Structure 1
Amino acid sequence: MMIRFAAPALTALALLAGPAQAFDLTQMTETERAAFRDEVRSYLMDNPEVILEAVQLLEERQANAEAQADLDMIQTNADAIFNDGFSWVGGNPDGDITLVEFMDYRCGYCRKAVPEIAQLLEQDGNIRFIVKEFPILGDASMVSSRFAVATKQVAGDDAYGQVHDALMELQGDPSEVVLRRLAEGLGLDADAILARMDSDEVTSEIAKTRALAQALRISGTPTFVLQDEMLRGYLPVDQMVAIVAEKRDAN
């Protein structure tokens, strides 16, 4: 006569066996294993919320692991992220919170984020904002970034800020004629900027940022680093405000 163990009974037997004899399903007969499976299935059918709880727990563990991995990468690459010596710094340079954006001028969500970031910086007033040129969406992206970086090297931070905003609104391809007109419209030395675009100095800055993005496992734009957290993708201003508040409270 086969003895049918209930799932709780099997668990109890496993616990009573102690460390000397761990509960091993492989030691069960086919009949016992089938009975055990029936009990487990019956329990899950009667308590389906257990499956949801398990899935939620798994998702929480995965999210925590990803957050920890991001934190480790940020700490390892902190100097390159926050103080590389060449990326444009806006907002409040002495702010208590630093927001870094890896962006591409041809990225629709980067463009969508422009007014959101501007609103955040205006209403907060104590955020240091760093822009990382990360052209990944084709030749037009690269040309735009080269023009922006060349502008910064030739004409300084204020000129870069103006060009950055203009490129974010630019419709059509950034041809030489278009870029020349843009520079001249801002009162900049178009010849000097265009001549600088293909220089080793410009190439080096973009290459360093690309290497940093690879080290941080960034493959899309916009991607933000907010203090010790990676924020992948577009975020509306209210969410950014909430995260900034959390960072301040944590300090």
Structure 2
Amino acid sequence: MIDRRNFLILSGAAMVLPAAAKAEAETGALDPQMVFHDPDAPALGNPQGDVTLVEFFDYQCPFCKKNHPVLEEVMAEDRGLRVVMKDWPVFGPVSLRAARLVLGAQENGAYATALEALMATKGRLSDAQVDKTLNAAGVSVPKAQAGYQSARQKIDAVLARNDRQASGLGLFGTPGFVAGRMIYPGALDKAALTEAIRVARHPQG
């Protein structure tokens, strides 16, 4: 099992083969390739970026939501940054439903809109608030639900992988970030986030 002290990965590594997901599930081992290049995990920013930042988050986590505009600002300024969003619904059933709906919206090309809408909310959520927020943003909840149902096996599998990876990395809550060889539990302000990306881009100093 890879932990915080021996988590190693090379920048710019090739995309992982789908078989790696099955191997990770069967062995329980944490595959760094799947952390950074899970083909079913949504990615923002530059798809060909030279640095990948991974965030484990929950739509009900106040620190995740407060940190999200900072992440967006850094992403807008750093055109070489790729950001992988890992839903880790640790706040219960509402979080799990929200994650499934947003990933279902991805099947209809509405992932970014759904993500931004829920990340702009305040505090804890109810199912009704999730639906109202998505609908107000122009994301059809019935279509998102249908998208989830059509890809249920894939979406539930990526959520399960996210959970295993977060635990394997030693994270105890959201948000949690991974960049290069380093794991950063908790929210990061702009300076800390920029420094984490710099270290990942230039690991030798």
TM-score by length of 2: 0.77
Asked if the contact 2:40/2:154 (under 8 Å) is kept, the reply is no
Q: Could you tell me which residue of structure 2 aligns to residue 118 of structure 1?
A: 72
Larger RCO of the pair (alpha carbons < 8 Å, separation 6+):
2
Q: 1:117 to 1:210 in 2, by over 3 A?
A: same
Q: Could you tell me which residue of structure 2 aligns to residue 27 of structure 1?
A: none
Match 1:224 to one of 138, 163, 177: 177
Asked if the contact 2:117/2:134 (under 8 Å) is kept, the reply is no
Unaligned runs of 5+ in 2: 10-29
Which has the larger share of helix?
1
> 1:101 deviation in Å?
0.1
Q: RMSD of aligned C-alpha atoms?
A: 2.3
User: Given the alignment of the two structures, is residue 109 of structure 1 paired with residue 63 of structure 2, yes or no?
Assistant: yes
User: Given the alignment of the two structures, is residue 167 of structure 1 paired with residue 121 of structure 2, yes or no?
Assistant: no
State the Cα deviation string for residues 167-204 of structure 1 (Å, max 9, x = none). Answer: 112346342x5444444444444323224446333322
> 1:247 deviation in Å?
3.1
Give the whole-Å Cα distance in 1 for the aligned partners of 2:169 and 2:145. 31
> 1:242 deviation in Å?
2.2
TM-score by length of 1: 0.64
Unaligned runs of 5+ in 1: 1-67
Asked if the contact 2:67/2:189 (under 8 Å) is kept, the reply is yes
How many corresponding residue pairs?
180
- The one-letter amino acid of 1:124's match is D
Asked if the contact 2:3/2:169 (under 8 Å) is kept, the reply is no
- The one-letter amino acid of 2:40's match is F
Q: Could you tell me which residue of structure 2 aligns to residue 90 of structure 1?
A: 44
> 1:240 deviation in Å?
1.6
Q: Could you tell me which residue of structure 2 aligns to residue 204 of structure 1?
A: 157
User: What's the % identity of the aligned pairs?
Assistant: 24
State the Cα deviation string for residues 4-50 of structure 1 (Å, max 9, x = none). Answer: xxxxxxxxxxxxxxxxxxxxxxxxxxxxxxxxxxxxxxxxxxxxxxx
- The one-letter amino acid of 1:147's match is L
SS in 1 for 2:52: strand
Give the whole-Å Cα distance in 2 for the aligned partners of 1:110 and 1:215. 20
State the Cα deviation string for residues 126-182 of structure 1 (Å, max 9, x = none). Answer: 1111100000012221121111111113x13xx11111111112346342x544444
